[in-house]
C-alpha cells in the first residue's frame, strides 16, 4: 500500500478536479499520482414492455462526434445512486420506471479517477418527463435483441453500435436478465 505524503489540487472545474498526490511506494520510493476527482455516476439500461431499449444520441465534444449510449449522469450531492438513475432517465428520455435494480458497480478509470459508476436495469417504463440540463439529446428506441446481438458479437455485422464502455457493459449484463425474466 502507498503512503500519502501530500495533496495539491491543480485544477477545480464544474464536474471534476485534478489533484497531484505525493506518495511513498511500498518499496520506499517517493513519486506522484495524478488523480481526477469526480462524483459517482449512474447509467441505466431502460427496457420497455415491447423489449426495446431506450438509448440516447448526443454530441460528445471530447471525441468530436455523436455517440449512441445508454442514459447516464452524475450523482448529485445528497442524492442516492437510485435517485440519480431515476432523475437521469427522466431527464434524458422522458421515462421513469416501475422497477429499477442495480446490476453492476465498477470503477471506469481505476488507475487515475475516483469515479465509481453503478449500472441499473430499468423496466416497466412510464412516460414521466423531467426537464433536465440544456443537453441536445435524441432518444433512440431499438429492439433489445438486436442491440444485444451486436454488442455480444453474435451477429456477422461489422457495425459498432457503442463506443463507450458503460453501454457495452450495461447491455451485456442486462442480456442475462432479459433472457431469464422478460423474454418468456
pLDDT attached to residue 138? 95
Q: Could you report the per-residue pLDDT of 54-88, keeping only the tens digit for each? A: 999 999 999 999 999 999 999 999 999 999 999 99
Same domain, 48 and 111: yes
pLDDT attached to residue 156? 73
Query: Into how many domains does the chain fold?
Result: 2
Residues with a catalytic annotation lie at 135
Same domain, 32 and 91: no
Same domain, 45 and 57: yes
Same domain, 12 and 76: no
pLDDT attached to residue 67? 96
Same domain, 56 and 97: yes
Three-state SS for the chain is: CCEEEEEEEEEECCCCEEEEEEEECCCCCEEEEEEEECCCEEEEEEECCCCEEEEEEEEEHHHCEEEEECCEEECCCCCCHHHHHHHHHHHHHCEEEEEEEEEEEECCCCCCECCCEEEEEEEEEEECCCCCCCCCCEEEEEEHHHHHHHHCCCCCCCCCCCCCHHHHHHHHHHHHHHHHHHCC
State the residue range of the domain holding 31: 3-37
Same domain, 30 and 63: no
- What CATH number does the domain containing 167 carry? 3.90.79.10
pLDDT attached to residue 182? 65
Same domain, 100 and 11: no
pLDDT attached to residue 36? 98
**Weakly modelled stretches of the chain, pLDDT under 50:** none
pLDDT attached to residue 21? 98
Same domain, 19 and 55: no
Same domain, 18 and 98: no
Same domain, 99 and 143: yes
The pTM assigned to this predicted structure is: 0.93
Same domain, 117 and 146: yes
Q: Could you report the per-residue pLDDT of 27-39, keeping only the tens digit for each? A: 999 999 999 999 9
Amino acid at each position: 500500500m502507498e503512503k500519502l505524503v501530500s495533496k495539491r489540487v491543480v485544477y477545480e472545474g464544474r464536474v471534476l478536479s485534478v489533484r497531484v498526490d505525493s506518495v511513498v511506494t511500498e518499496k520506499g520510493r517517493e513519486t506522484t499520482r495524478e488523480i481526477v476527482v469526480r462524483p459517482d455516476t449512474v447509467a441505466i439500461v431502460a427496457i420497455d414492455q415491447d423489449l426495446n431499449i431506450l438509448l440516447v444520441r448526443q454530441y460528445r465534444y471530447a471525441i468530436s462526434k455523436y455517440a449512441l449510449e445508454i442514459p447516464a449522469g452524475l450523482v448529485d450531492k445528497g442524492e442516492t445512486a437510485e435517485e440519480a438513475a431515476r432523475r437521469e432517465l427522466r431527464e434524458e428520455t422522458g421515462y421513469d420506471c416501475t422497477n429499477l435494480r442495480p446490476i453492476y458497480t465498477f470503477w471506469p478509470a481505476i488507475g487515475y479517477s475516483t469515479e465509481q459508476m453503478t449500472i441499473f436495469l430499468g423496466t416497466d417504463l412510464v412516460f414521466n418527463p423531467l426537464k433536465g440540463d440544456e443537453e441536445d439529446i435524441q432518444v433512440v428506441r431499438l429492439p433489445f435483441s438486436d442491440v444485444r446481438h451486436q454488442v455480444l458479437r453474435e451477429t456477422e455485422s461489422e457495425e459498432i453500435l457503442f463506443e463507450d464502455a458503460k453501454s457495452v457493459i450495461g447491455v451485456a449484463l442486462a442480456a442475462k436478465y432479459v433472457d431469464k425474466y422478460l423474454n418468456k
